[in-house]
Structure 1
Amino acid sequence: MSRAVATTAACLAGALLLTACGGGGDEVTSGGVGSDGVRTGPGVTDETIRLGVMTDLTGPFKDLSTTLQIGHHMWANEVNAAGGICNRQVAIETLDHGYQADTATIQFPDIEPKVAGFLEVLGASVIAALSPDINEKEVTTLAVTWSSELLGQPYVTIVGTTFDLEMINGLDWLLEKNKIAKGDTIGHIYVEGDYGTNGLAGSRYFAKQNGLTVAAEKITATDTDMKSIVTKFKSQGVKAIALSVTPPQTASAAVNNAGLGLDVPMIGNSVSFAPVLLDTPAAKALTRLYIAASAVPYDSPVPRAKALAKQFEAENPNERPTFAVQYGYAQGLIWNQILTTACAAKDLTRGGIIAALRSHRSLSTDKLVSKLDFSKPGAPSSRDVYIAQVDPGTPGGMKQVQALKQYKDAATYRTPTERP
């Protein structure tokens, strides 16, 4: 385990420059006016702006989440070394919910009063459980989930393309590359909850638009063996497998896809793969897997992505990289722009922060994430994706095979919350 990861797990103290977990030296304000005339709210003092993180450091997405935290801190350290934001240092308060919504609901009342907003809350089911409290407390939250079911939430911001649009774009790419054809059957394994059902909505829309059939199989988050499902897919003659599942479930699907002789291409949502799977017997079988995501693959040629990869490897020589390094940094870039706008308006209250976000028709992440437009309520901020193929020889485990692109069916699709 790298120093950065160990420090994150140990409440982010010491090794990560000028960031902090709970119980630090700054008192948390509940409102007032700073010495510089800036109105302040929870999580803001004259010295500090504290942002919250509720993530999964011990559950099925721990590998993605760990590198996501490193990306956050790369951003915060850079900002703080340059003087901070609004003449205040950025601190990060982190809690591990283990991808358990019940745990997150218990944690929320403790962390919420201490922070100006959430740099990250991970998990579709977690966000769904916390949304009433997030809205009641009017706390701006960047969600690390891409379920379009959440787009109507006033204080929840989804950075990038949603799960349904990821799947539509990914299947369109398979069709374009003649890996599937009209009239084919697609097998879709999806985990119960907003993540899985949202991915399934995308494959069903694509199938309807292109004359294909979807054979859907629902699983729980704790299911680990996909053999019976893949056996069923083989009997149904599926020509591709779509995956809206956890990384361990992806590995089982890949092993059985190869081992049972089905051997069809697989397309997964952005969070369905983790590079740690390449240390398992599934590594060879996973090369049949493609991932659709609006965040750059770790080894992307995008200049900022390359610079961050170089820094990450220098600072974390023993840590396996994932795309979440650059995505976590990109979330910081978004918060930087929000807080800078709020500071200019001399309003770092919860109301001032959400007003600053809503004032931006677009926010820049130096192409670490596809173009983001937050001007349309209920609509996704992006419809573009990168396509990457799992490749054990590529840093981060994924080789980019398609630059950022929006496919035709993604352009016509409307999310459940989107206004006409």
Structure 2
Amino acid sequence: MLWIAALFGVFLLGIPISFSLGITTLVGLAGTGLPLEVIVQRMFTGMDNFAFVAIPLFILAGNLMAVGGISKRITSFSESLVGHWPGGLGMVAIVASMIFAAVTGSAIAATAAIGALLISEMIAKGYSRPYAAALVATSGSIGPIIPPSIPLVVYGVIVSGSIAKLFMGGVVPGILMGAFLMIANWLISKRRGYVGRAKKAEWSEVRQGLRDALLALFMPVIIVGGIVGGIFTPTESASIAVAYALLLGGLVYRELSWKKIAQAFTDAAVTTGIILTVLMTASLFIWFMTVKMIPQSITQSLLSVIDTQWGALMAMNVILLIAGTFIDTTSAITIFVPLFLPLVRTFGIDLVHFGVMVAVNLTIGMCTPPLGVCLFVSCEIAETSLGEMFKDLIVMLIPLLALLLIITYIPATVLWLPNLLGL
């Protein structure tokens, strides 16, 4: 427990999480007599996994789609479906984020792409800036739940689980996240007078929107269908996603310029560098915790006060929700999943159920201060501040927390689809 406290102490000093992990481990190893060469060895071993190649590829595919005209077509199609409902533009933001999640799997990409298209229009239609920002940020959090999902890839590697089963486990919770947010938006819009478009879209408009977005909508079918069907691995599917994004944005929609492609590659490289640095140092820290028997000691401490699966799930939820407010998703997964695994196994909790529960916890953290990256993106687009949007944000977090309780204590919401598909 001392080393966990030391890690958070270093982190609270303002040192980036990757360096905090490395510094804490270095200090811990200094008193063990082990050669410091083990640091480089363990960091390399932590990255020496073929499945991790999927991470930069999925990030690149998401970046290419965000600038290749796909988000615009998805938004137009979503508006033809739900734009006439109360809070129509809010509904469009949620539905478009769900579809965009199935295309890119990135919360930040969904928030940025959908926010850039809709926030200014929402404000012009009378939506308050704080509410527009809060709605788009929470909608964007669906990204890492609906497959493909980078957090679930990282989790699957850590627990040596089936990534295909994890992906399918995220489908129903991701759809429910969108449904719960739509209900909240409907209630708020009715109260505040946020109206939709004057009349329901004609069938011809819906058909045209579907035709324009069809190729983009076909992408998750290729990616997820190929993985579930055993045609290719998650890493191979990520490669196909990049090729498909280039083909669709460059040759079909003709909205990908060389400048946009270069920027997408650059942004993907920067993001990948950050994630892999965290994964390297986290791998080192996990090894150090294993040597010190820290997961086992934490499990014993928790078992002294928790004697039911219900209590164990609640304790892990509370810890993950708190951690998610100031630690990024990848770091939190690599730190807390190994710590909780002994407890998970002790109470017989299904690893797929636990993985999706962890992902939902930490994606809620992506739209929760102080480190909610989706919040910063939507605030910048809406030209508002965290303080101004705090009240609306709390309201929009309530349906997400309600969903978290449902998937925590009704495992069938996660496991039904993977079991139905025989994974």
Q: TM-score, normalised by structure 1?
A: 0.30
* Higher RCO by CA contacts (8 Å cutoff, separation 6 or greater): 2
Higher strand share: 1
Q: TM-score, normalised by structure 2?
A: 0.30
